[in-house]
Amino acid sequence: MKIAIVCYPTWGGSGVVATELGIALANRGHEVHFVTYRQPVRLGLLNNRIHFHEVHVPEYPLFKYQPYELALSSKLVDTVKLYGIDVLHVHYAIPHAYAGYMAKKMLEEENIHIPMITTLHGTDITLVGNHPFYRPAVTFSINNSDVVTSVSKSLKNQTLNLFDIKVDIEVVPNFIDKSKYSSSFTDCQRSLMAIDNERILTHISNFRKVKRIPDVIQVFDRVRKKIPAKLVMVGEGPEKEAAELLCEKLGIAEKVIFLGNSNEIDRILCFSDLFLLPSESESFGLAALEAMINKVPVISSNAGGIPEVNEQGITGFLSEIGDVEDMANNALKILKDDEALEEFKLNAVKSAQRFDILNVLPLYEEIYEKAYNSRFDKNFIK
């Protein structure tokens, strides 16, 4: 099939999922067209099955805000016509589902019927989409998608609670490609980060408030008082500076390494002993899943969809949001001796395999097929 994927090209989870999905679909023989304002960060070489179409928004002084949705919907119309696209898959409701709907309607004028699949990722529902400024447009875009999927059961329930939804929402979980990890690094270059007896705790995120970065540091501070340890912080975002200051204040600056954004997540996870994810809200927690497939157990909050990924007492532990004491105690249970750590590591990698792409990709393929075959069905086309 020819599939157009709309996503954010940034480091965020929704962009990563969309990109990895596109690459996997191309490997299965589909033709994939990414339509976004920049080449997605995880997208490598383009080839005859993976195309990238950049959305340009020319600056015009009259506009205080440049109309990205308009440029995106026009680009979608052109791409669908030029490449004979069969289905449109938009990741993140705002504004992608809205722009996709407009493109669909414009194409219908030319007798081209293209089904739109909208995947809800989390913040498009819980943090941003739910704001009264956006809610009517988000509700409309969801209700007018041909298929709606959400990345966890928790996000599905939240969407149904927060919006007046009149369509089914199918849960298609996020995924990892386990075959990529079977040949994990033989030398993780752990010595670059820590001395031999130190445990390495890692956090990876976009450093937004919702990630509760101070909790990461508070948990680490409690752990390092009991056992030798280092904390590796990966990512960039608005909370990073305050995090650096907090480390100074606690006198642990030389024990915390801020690496910034990285394309070497697997290498970093390779030398990590524990992953910290104390988020306030998390629809799925892709970062936790990536840690688990790299044999890293997870200490997390029990927010949103995290319990669907991190298994209590098996792959790690979950605590109430903000309970840094409990998180630190749990971390110590895992890190206390090599045997306990090894057991959690093995459990983590085993459990992560539930989300192998081989199980998830067919679900999307089935959805595309069904949507494409029903594109002339009156009940289906909005």
Interacting residues with ligand GMT (CB under 6 A): 12-14, 17, 92, 121-123, 151, 174, 205-206, 210, 281-286
Burial group, residue 53, by CB count within 10 angstroms (0-12, 13-18, 19+): middle
Q: Which helix (H) or strand (E) holds 318?
A: strand 316-319
Question: Residue 48 corresponds to which amino acid?
Answer: N
- Tokens 């080449």 locate to 39
User: Using CB atoms within 10 A of its CB, is residue 225 exposed (0-12), middle (13-18) or buried (19+)?
Assistant: exposed
- Choose between 144 and 206: whose C-beta lies nearer to ligand GMT: 206
Nearer to ligand GMT, 21 or 116 (CB): 21
In the complex with ligand GMT, which residue's Cβ is closer, 9 or 285?
A: 285
For ligand GMT, the closer CB: 73 or 206: 206
Task: Work out how close the CB of 211 gets to ligand GMT at its nearest, in angstroms, rounded to a whole number.
Answer: 7
Nearer CB in complex with ligand GMT: 209/333: 209
Question: CB of residue 123 vs ligand GMT: minimum separation in angstroms?
Answer: 5
* Number of Cβ within a 10 Å radius of residue 7: 26
CB of 153 to ligand GMT, least distance (A): 13
Question: Least distance in Å: CB of 151 to ligand GMT?
Answer: 4
In whole angstroms, the minimum distance from the beta carbon of 360 to ligand GMT comes to 12
Query: Cβ of residue 375: shortest distance to ligand GMT, in angstroms?
Result: 26
Q: Residue 175 carries which side chain, given as an amino acid letter?
A: F
Q: How far apart are the first and last CA of the chain?
A: 22
Rounded to a whole number of angstroms, the minimum distance from the CB of residue 106 to ligand GMT is 27
The residue to which tokens 């980060």 are assigned: 193
Q: Quick one: 17 or 85, whose CB is closer to ligand GMT?
A: 17
The β-bridge relationship of strands 256-260 and 147-150 is unpaired
Using the minimum distance from each CB to ligand GMT, give the nearer residue, 145 or 283: 283
Residue 30 or residue 91: which is nearer to ligand GMT going by CB?
91
Our CB check for ligand GMT shows the closer of 209 and 382 to be: 209
Q: Are the C-beta atoms of residues 28 and 361 closer than 8 Å to each other?
A: yes
Cα(117)–Cα(101) distance, rounded to whole angstroms?
A: 10
Q: 52 CB contacts (<8 Å, ≥6 apart)?
A: 33, 34, 36, 39, 40, 43, 46
How many C-beta neighbours within 10 Å does residue 191 have? Answer: 10
Those residues whose C-beta lies under 8 Å from the C-beta of residue 241, and which sit 6 or more positions away, are: none
Q: How far apart are the C-alpha atoms of 97 and 144, rounded to whole Å? A: 9
Q: Cβ of 94: how many Cβ atoms within 10 Å? A: 18
Question: Measured from the CB of residue 84, what is the shortest distance to ligand GMT in angstroms?
Answer: 29
CB of residue 162 vs ligand GMT: minimum separation in angstroms? Answer: 13
Question: In this structure, are residues 331 and 304 in contact, taking their beta carbons and an 8 Å threshold?
Answer: no
